[in-house]
Amino acid sequence: MILETEALAKRYRRRWALYDCTLAVPESAIVGLVGPNGAGKTTLLQLIVGLLGPTAGAVRVLGGTPDAAMRSGRVGFVAQDAPTYAGLTVADHLSMGGGLNPHRWDAPAAAERVDRLGLRLRQRAGRLSGGQRAQLALTLALSKRPDLLVLDEPVASLDPLARRAFLDETAAAATATGTAVVLSTHLVADLAHVCTHVVVLAGGRIRLAAAIAELCTNPAELERVVLDELGRASGEGHATR
């Protein structure tokens, strides 16, 4: 397994943001994480990449701790706000990506991607639009050729065509290199388009975790299953803790 969590839990002061989360993500899987605002999606993703430590339970990434996996350079992560360095140019970001990941960095792919997206190499990141900054951060994560790609709402700021194109690229990376992907999204249509697995999280608990092929046969059915589950969770007022 590329990623495993077991009874993973996180508490902020007295409030549990994530509870009893057990998941297994195999090679090439594209896992879509959906849930209402405050469901615990970012918390789970940050536990996976070691930005947070668990209150209880365990997480194993590429057979080791999240810290070790991150240090190995085999994990690509793009946080919700797609952080970039405002004062550095697009070219600076690419050379930094190459410098930090000398053994895995795919320089031609990175250059081709920024060119295709129309990002100018001499443009400072601080002058890019929100969607362009997200594309730059996604380029850095993809060009590391990671074994695991963790994306917190990666397509939220992209226009519809760019969103579809990015999801297709992600799926191609999963197929070509076995990269496993865990991405959070509010767009159920994106799940149907690209994901192999769905995880519905509400009130810090997993409400549903399944291979999409075993759950339904078409996008409309998937949307109904996910929305029904979210509706049930909302009706229960998340009063499960």
Ligand X SMILES: Nc1ncnc2c1ncn2[C@@H]1O[C@H](COP(=O)(O)OP(=O)(O)OP(=O)(O)O)[C@@H](O)[C@H]1O
3-state SS assignment for residue 129: coil
Identity (one letter) of the amino acid at 158?
L
Which residues inside 36-55 make contact with ligand X, applying CB under 6 A? 37-43
Question: CA 134, CA 139: separation in Å to the nearest integer?
Answer: 9
Contacting range for ligand X; rule: CB under 6 A; set: 30-38, 82-90, 168-176, 208-216 = 30-38
Write phi, then psi, for 19 (nearest 5 degrees): -145, 135
Q: Is 5 in the site for ligand X (CB under 6 A)?
A: no
Q: For ligand X, how many residues bind (rule: CB under 6 A)?
A: 10
Nearer to ligand X, 18 or 142 (CB): 18
Which of 31, 45, 48 lies closest to 179, judged by CA?
31
- Stated as kind and residue range, the H or E segment containing 206 is strand 205-211
**According to the 3-state scheme, what is the secondary structure of 22-33?**
EEEECCCCEEEE
Q: Work out the burial of residue 106: count CB atoms within 10 Å of its CB; fewer than 13 is exposed, 13-18 middle, 19 or more buried.
A: middle
For residue 127, what is the DSSP state?
G
Only one of the segments 31-39, 62-70, 113-121, 208-216 lies at the binding site for ligand X (rule: CB under 6 A); that segment is: 31-39
Choosing from 7, 12, 107, 234, the residue that interacts with ligand X (CB under 6 A) is 12
Smallest gap from residue 41 Cβ to ligand X (A) = 3
Give the residue with the Cβ less far from ligand X, 92 or 229: 229
Residue 182 found at the interface with ligand X (CB under 6 A): no
β-pair type (15-25, 3-12): antiparallel
Taking the complex as a whole, how short is the minimal distance between the CB of residue 59 and ligand X, in angstroms?
15
Q: If binding is defined by CB under 6 A, does position 241 make contact with ligand X?
A: no
* Pair of tokens at residue 204: 């810090």
Q: Which among 32-40, 85-93, 95-103, 165-173 is the span making contact with ligand X, rule CB under 6 A?
A: 32-40
Q: Which of 32, 35, 54, 154 binds ligand X (CB under 6 A)?
A: 35
Of the pair 18, 75, the CB lying nearest ligand X is at 18
Sign of the CA dihedral 180, 184, 189, 191? positive
Binding site for ligand X (CB under 6 A): 12, 17, 35, 37-43
